[in-house]
Chain A
Amino acid sequence: MSRRWINRITFLFMGLTGLACATVILLVALILGHIAYHGVHHLSWEFLTTAPRAGMTEGGIFPAIFGTVFLVLLMTIAVVPLGVCTAVYLQEYAPAGSKLVHAVRLAIQNLAGVPAIVFGLFGLGFFIEFAGRSVDRLFYGGQLHFGQPAILWAALTMALLTLPTVVVATEEALRVVPRGHREAAYALGATRWQMVRYVLLPQATGGILTGTILAVSRGAGEVAPILFTGAAYYLPELPRRLNHQFMELGYHVYVMATQSPDVDATKPILYATVFVLLTLTFLLNFSAVVLRARIRRRLAEGR
């Protein structure tokens, strides 16, 4: 091949891949820009702090924000201890080459690939129909309290979905703690748990926090798992007990976009709700990225 042709092909190849890259970034900017442009108009303090009125055509989205926060809070309480313990086991407790470690890793990786809607089916089949009904039989004499869609079941379903996120982030944080720190703790006579509790976990706090934030961001955005496990379109009251149903931002967007009787009347509210949801997830993701970068820099300096 002549030099000229090679130059042309090089130019073409780089141009095409660069074009692909630019297209993707342009698409992201287009979507975000469109939503920000149309969503920011309707945003007001009143919109964020009042309940919807007049069949969702007026008022705000406070109950949906409240429900989302309540949901991810419950989810966090369930998933963080579980995820951290799992990561600690994989990194510190498991004997080398253990079959259990291999199986847990495989389970975590596959859990991350299970479609969100399948988690929804599981939440209905296991938490509501099985666990909820059993609780009702044992403690309420068969009366219906927990054997129905509820924020507790939605949160637990979401916790299972976000477990891999927390485990992976915590494992990464534990892995970068220098070996010498562990050995020093043992040399001072620390037991394994004391070493984990006083040496590893304090150093891994940043990583655990990163994982938690990413899990919360994911949990706040997923809708498919809560479709049948507790989300409701409109509730006159805020959820006060674990077995109440709840309103949620993503679910609110879905129903308003697909089942609104008057699309034009709800459109400004819909855009503003999407904007709030996006801002929420992006702020979370952004803080996770910043936090992670800071940890990595500190580690690089420490070495």
Chain B
Amino acid sequence: MSRRAAESAIEAVIRVSASLAIVGLVLIFVFIGKEALPVLLSQEVRQEAGLSRLFLPQSPEPSEPKEFAWQPISAIPKYSLLPLLTGTIKATVVALLFALPLALGAAVFSSEFAPSWLREIIKPSIELLAGIPSVVLGFFALMVMATYIQDLLGLDYRLNAINAGIALGLAVIPIVFTVAEDALTAVPQSYREGSIALGATPWQTAWRVVLPAAFPGIFAACVLGFGRAIGETMIVLMASGNAAVLSLSPTDPLRTLSATIAAELGEVVHGSPHYHVLFFIGTLLFLFTFATNLLGQAFVERLKQRLSGSRL
């Protein structure tokens, strides 16, 4: 083979490998979406688990009151997604309430106030948290944290939204911290010097100058943390109690969309309405996290433009 032919062959191989990332992402969407489509299209599946069954209140017997229930393996299967959606949102809200103040506070402290030797300790320690596998966090929440939280607050259920949310928050903290810290340190030093020179205190500089300048990045950190919380599976599967009840109380157990897939796909009959509904949930999760990611990245880009534009 001539040298030129070899070169272009290699280039072709490299180009194809690079496009496999796109192919992978598209295949994920296509193959999950394909199994979810019968929920919208197949007459047979729709009768048992059409969109109205998933989202509107249903009564199994005409005499009984209408309700939202997720009971896919009862005699009359019920597929209302509402308990799962509220469960997911509940766990996410608790997780963010717990994680955002801690992660953002830590990011501000690390980038604005901590001396550099302390920062060298803070950053790896928090990144250590990112290295803990989620199954280990789930294990910790299930075996240890749940008991303490129950005793501390005197709750009826050991596994509840507070417990699951805090465990989930532990997984969210490193993401929010890393993105927010990057955004804060990307703010040019001259902003801080200018502010201090005008007589501002370090607190005023951080609050009125650095934080507003880094705002798109801070916002991106929150959005990416939110996306992580929605999709995380093992933690909520182990720490939430997995009861599909429609309740807004943070002391009740809950069941999330992701945990439902994990718990039920193993035993489901291939091709049954239940199977297709689980893939439908997967498609929802995919689309939702895809959207939050795009939003987060858009804000990171905006931060870059803002900071590079203002330097001119």
User: B-contacting residues of A (Cβ < 8 Å)?
Assistant: 6-7, 9-10, 13-14, 16-21, 23-25, 27-28, 31-32, 34-35, 81-82, 85-86, 88-90, 93-94, 100, 103-104, 107-111, 113-122, 124-126, 129-130, 160, 163, 167, 191-193, 217, 220-224, 227-228, 250-251, 253-254, 257-258, 267, 270, 274, 277-278, 281-282, 285, 289
Contacts and interface: CB of A to CB of B under 8 A. Distances in A.
B128 A125 contact: no
A24 B233 contact: no
Interface stretch (B57-65, B74-82, B133-141): B133-141
B105 A117 contact: no
B289 interface: yes
A135 B46 CA distance: 32
B15 to A, nearest CB: 6
Contacts of A160: 24, 28
Contacts of B262: 117, 120, 224, 227
B144 A34 contact: yes
Given A9-B203, A24-B173, 20 more contacts: A24-B126, A27-B170, A28-B128, A28-B132, A31-B170, A32-B128, A81-B17, A86-B21, A104-B22, A107-B24, A107-B25, A111-B21, A111-B24, A113-B228, A113-B289, A114-B286, A163-B21, A250-B234, A254-B237, A257-B138
Given A21-B106, A118-B231, A121-B279, A282 B131 contact: yes
B136 A278 contact: yes
A6 B201 contact: yes
Contact of B32 (A7, A113, A122, A224): A122
Contacts, number: 259
A274 B136 contact: yes
A13 B136 contact: no
B188 interface: no
B18 A100 contact: yes
B282 interface: yes
Contacts of B34: 125
B105 A89 contact: no
Nearest to A280: B133
A124 B270 CA distance: 11
B111 to A, nearest CB: 10
Contacts of A113: 224, 227-228, 231, 289-290, 292-293, 296
Given A113-B224, A115-B231, A221-B135, A13 B18 contact: no
Contacts of A289: 124
Contacts of B55: none
Contacts of A88: 14
Interface string B106-131: 10111011100000001011101101
B157 to A, nearest CB: 16
